[in-house]
Amino acid sequence: MRQSQLFSKTRKEAPSDEVSKNAQLLIRAGFIHKEMAGVYSYLPLGLRVLKKIENIIREEMNAIGGQEIELTALQNKELWEKTNRWDDSEVDVWFKIANDKSIGLGFTHEEPLTRLMTEHIRSFRDLPVYAYQFQTKFRNETRAKSGVMRGREFLMKDLYSFNADQAGLDEFYEKVSDAYKRIFERFGFGNNTYKTFASGGAFAKYSHEFQTVCDAGEDIIYVDEAKKIAVNKEVYTDEVISDLGILKKDLVEKKSVEVGNIFKLGTRFSEPLGLTYLNEEGKQVPVVMGSYGIGPARSMGTVVELLSDDKGIIWPREIAPFSVHLLCLSESVRAHADALYDELISRGVEVLYDDRDLRPGEKFADSDLIGIPVRFVVSEKTIAENKVEVKQRASPDSELVLTEEAFKLL
Amino acid sequence: MRQSQLFSKTRKEAPSDEVSKNAQLLIRAGFIHKEMAGVYSYLPLGLRVLKKIENIIREEMNAIGGQEIELTALQNKELWEKTNRWDDSEVDVWFKIANDKSIGLGFTHEEPLTRLMTEHIRSFRDLPVYAYQFQTKFRNETRAKSGVMRGREFLMKDLYSFNADQAGLDEFYEKVSDAYKRIFERFGFGNNTYKTFASGGAFAKYSHEFQTVCDAGEDIIYVDEAKKIAVNKEVYTDEVISDLGILKKDLVEKKSVEVGNIFKLGTRFSEPLGLTYLNEEGKQVPVVMGSYGIGPARSMGTVVELLSDDKGIIWPREIAPFSVHLLCLSESVRAHADALYDELISRGVEVLYDDRDLRPGEKFADSDLIGIPVRFVVSEKTIAENKVEVKQRASPDSELVLTEEAFKLL
């Protein structure tokens, strides 16, 4: 894409009411726009990153047998009363509708999907079922000060598993756990991310969170770095620590972001909502469920918090808005830069081409702020040597290489 | 995809409270699920169709210079008061939030996008800008009885144009009009669709709707079939008719569905929201806007209303959930059918493979109901002749053809 066509502009200052680093940088670089506290619109660059994150998750969910669906935001009181999650004293993040008090905006989707499945799951032959969606959640959070890491309106990938028995759930739970590890590696922060023991609720001793160590995190975890085990503060007790075979003296307290969670629900929802099936012995028994979440925008925010410097963002390759940022440094070399742009496009490379009539300094500053991982510069100097200047965003050094060699770096 | 893995089941009866043909068929075939009046979830088959519709629109919007973004559902009172569209006496479809009366759910997005653009459009050099999104709208419709054709929560493609002057708007408006024609042709109902004169509001004599002639439609249009001109009932006056150079005696009344609309907004939103730019004479002048909508789900419903028979749906090729439905008729031919499935997959064909252990009659009935445009049948008879039975969903006849010939039909 030609940058002269891109409508978003970079800016030197973030809005004064924005305190989080991720939102400050994403707004300054023209990726997002703040509508109100915890509510952000996505501009072309931001939407490209979000879609790449979404596609990585989609690939990994499809690989373990997930079927994509899309449920609705509008939810009915009567359904949620059956599981005792309608009343504001039970769930305090509901947005409810003023002109129709029996409607609220879904903050999660166990209830509607469980009810939906009663129409499709009848016999053991219909199991297992794994269904997931990318769907907008609404949560009336009082503390929405972490930028895109805690939205009041945000996209979520939520997967739900429906198995015949606990053994089936246990097996699938491990598959999701492995898929989540792959996802966070592809997002570029796998090394900082710990599968963390957390509270299991009524039906399991533990659930697991994927916690990424990050100063901007709102959570506290205790990490045994040698054993790669972490424990959420909420279950950091002597009993749990001995249960896990770790020692208090080996645990280090860290701030972290919950980038994903996996949860064994058992029959918490299938029983009150009547999701049963006829087993091989001809008996009606409840389906055994699990739920598994990742917030794409929170992942995007975590990347910005972790992988940025004083000049701007440094996107990891797989989720960068473009693979390469091509800069034309002067009018005199425009024909050369245009030709290189055309060549990149014809090779199927995703390229942002800064063809604007601006001073080189402004182009370099914008390029560092936007954070595309590889930069190609065309200038009089590079043309004289019949080369292109290549710089990795994460590295301070650039080098002159032959164009053919430069293509190989992408 | 193997149909044995697809979780959705077909059903013989639609819910008794569902009166529209499109929702009845889509529910029976396992494409959608009704959450409440005018609120539908998308199951795997339905989501595949919706995504194909979305991608056709995306391709055509990108081709005319559209940049994709994503705005938010949550909207602030203060913004909408500036254009006098917050009060329920002005706009009667708002869903507003009970616990925070200053927040509503966007029923359209002129206001937030206009405000957003004040941060990116400053000079004539920044124009034109064309931005579009696929975003969920919320409208508290009292009459939500047309299935997916009139939802209270529904996906909408809304494009907004920002031009320096009326001439720029006029030119782009025609480009969108042409793109819309291509889109409705690709959806399979271009022939039934008329660009229809409708009310232009305060800033233009006319706007245009794209109206598809359909018995399930909620609109009335008057069509001059020879001249391919149509007029919406709301502007069906002697003055308008003479204005358009048509004769009342040539006009036929038809029921129709509004599948798209294009609207010249002028400065209706840019003036109250302060979206101005510095023109070449150094003067601050308001940006000239247009808005352009298509409802993907409404288009999907229109296809079902128009292209179905007593056995089920007949999807047009470009928006079908799969390109071919492969049926294995008995256990004895499973190895052959499996091999053909693998061959189709390796050729990149989107295939739904009915590998279930069911009687042939049930498979044929499901196949007709789901409506994939081409069916391949593998049976003892076809194998004896070393062929495959091919049937177009829209045609009553099938034929036996060599496998290699069958591939060419896809």
Interface contact B96-A98, CB threshold 8 A: yes
B377 reaches A (C-beta below 8 A):
no
Per-residue pLDDT at A236: 95
Residues of chain A where predicted confidence (pLDDT) is lower than 70: none
A353 reaches B (C-beta below 8 A):
no
With pLDDT > 70 as the criterion, what percentage of chain B qualifies?
Answer: 100
Per-residue pLDDT at A410: 86
Q: Given strand B103-105, what is the order of strands in its sheet?
A: B74-76, B103-105, B95-96
Q: How far is A121 from chain B (nearest CA, A)?
A: 8
**Are β-strands B374-378 and B324-328 bridged in parallel, bridged antiparallel, or unpaired?**
parallel
Per-residue pLDDT at A314: 98
A76 reaches B (C-beta below 8 A):
yes
CB neighbourhood size of B87 (10 A):
12
CB neighbourhood size of A35 (10 A):
22
Using CB atoms, pick whichever of A41, A96, A126 lies closest to residue B70.
Answer: A41
Mean pLDDT of B17-35: 96
Interface contact A112-B68, CB threshold 8 A: no
A140 reaches B (C-beta below 8 A):
yes
A407 reaches B (C-beta below 8 A):
no
Using CB atoms, pick whichever of B5, B41, B50 lies closest to residue A72.
Answer: B41
| Paired tokens of A390 | 């290549």
Contact list in A for residue B39 (CB cut-off 8 A) is 72, 74
Contact list in A for residue B42 (CB cut-off 8 A) is 69-70
Interface contact A41-B136, CB threshold 8 A: no
Q: Hey, of B43, B92, B102, B161, which one would you mutate to test binding to chain A, going by the most A CBs within 10 A of its CB?
A: B43
Please, which pLDDT band fits residue B54 given cuts at 50, 70 and 90? very high
| Paired tokens of B130 | 């064309």
Count CB pairs under 8 A between chains A and B: 138
With pLDDT > 90 as the criterion, what percentage of chain B qualifies?
Answer: 94
A119 reaches B (C-beta below 8 A):
yes
Mean pLDDT of B214-218: 95
Write out residues 145-164 of A within 8 Å (CB-CB) of B: 152-153
Nearest in space to A301 (alpha carbons), one of A108, A194, A144, A179: A144
φ/ψ of A323, rounded to 5, equals -80, -35
Beta bridge partners of A255: A220
Per-residue pLDDT at A363: 98
Q: How far is A357 from chain B (nearest CA, A)?
A: 11
Nearest in space to B373 (alpha carbons), one of B313, B288, B303, B330: B313
Interface contact A138-B41, CB threshold 8 A: no
Per-residue pLDDT at B145: 87
Q: Hey, of A2, A4, A6, A36, which one would you mutate to test binding to chain B, going by the most B CBs within 10 A of its CB?
A: A36
Per-residue pLDDT at B228: 87
Q: How far is B101 from chain A (nearest CA, A)?
A: 8
Contact list in A for residue B71 (CB cut-off 8 A) is 35, 41
Interface contact A42-B70, CB threshold 8 A: yes
Regarding pTM above 0.95, the answer is: yes
B142 reaches A (C-beta below 8 A):
no
Indicate whether B49 pLDDT > 90.
yes
B109 reaches A (C-beta below 8 A):
no
Give the domains, in start order, of chain B with CATH numbers.
Answer: 21-309 (3.30.930.10), 322-408 (3.40.50.800)
CB B184 within 8 A of CB B316: no
| Paired tokens of B15 | 């819910």
B98 reaches A (C-beta below 8 A):
yes
Mean pLDDT of B273-301: 98
Interface contact A100-B6, CB threshold 8 A: no
d(Cα A362, Cα A342) in Å, to the nearest integer?
23
Which residue in chain B has the smallest CA separation from A95?
A: B97
Contact list in A for residue B44 (CB cut-off 8 A) is 67-69
Nearest in space to B32 (alpha carbons), one of A105, A70, A137, A113: A70
DSSP symbols for A272-331: TTT-EEE-TTS-EEEPEEEEEEE-HHHHHHHHHHHSEETTEE---GGG-S-SEEEEE--G
Interface contact B73-A73, CB threshold 8 A: yes
Mean pLDDT of B25-35: 97
Residue A283 CA: distances (Å) to CA of A87, A265, A278: 34, 21, 5
| Paired tokens of B2 | 């193997």
Q: How far is A384 from chain B (nearest CA, A)?
A: 32
ipTM of predicted complex: 0.97
Residue type, A78: E
B405 reaches A (C-beta below 8 A):
no
d(Cα B116, Cα B103) in Å, to the nearest integer?
18
A40 reaches B (C-beta below 8 A):
yes
Contact list in A for residue B109 (CB cut-off 8 A) is none
